[in-house]
Amino acid sequence: MANNNDKMRREEAGRKGGEATAENHDKEFYQKIGEKGGEARNND
């Protein structure tokens, strides 16, 4: 059986990805994607 100790858990990968995104984008970026999500949800 393979040793998976060196693999990253999904939770950790998501956290690291979120931190990297936050470093590269500002508040306006998150507002825009939030608006897009709201619009898509209203179109259903």
- What's the confidence (pLDDT) of residue 4? 63
Q: Which residue has the tokens 């040793």?
A: 3
- What's the confidence (pLDDT) of residue 44? 66
- What's the confidence (pLDDT) of residue 11? 95
Distance CA 31, CA 37 (A): 10
Instruction: For the full predicted model, state whether its pTM sits above 0.75.
Output: no
Q: What is the pLDDT along the chain (44 residues), one digit of tens a residue?
A: 445 667 889 999 999 999 999 999 999 999 999 999 998 888 76
- What's the confidence (pLDDT) of residue 1? 43
- What's the confidence (pLDDT) of residue 23? 96
- In sequence order, what are the residues at sequence separation of 6 or more whose Cβ sits closer than 8 angstroms to the Cβ of residue 16? 8
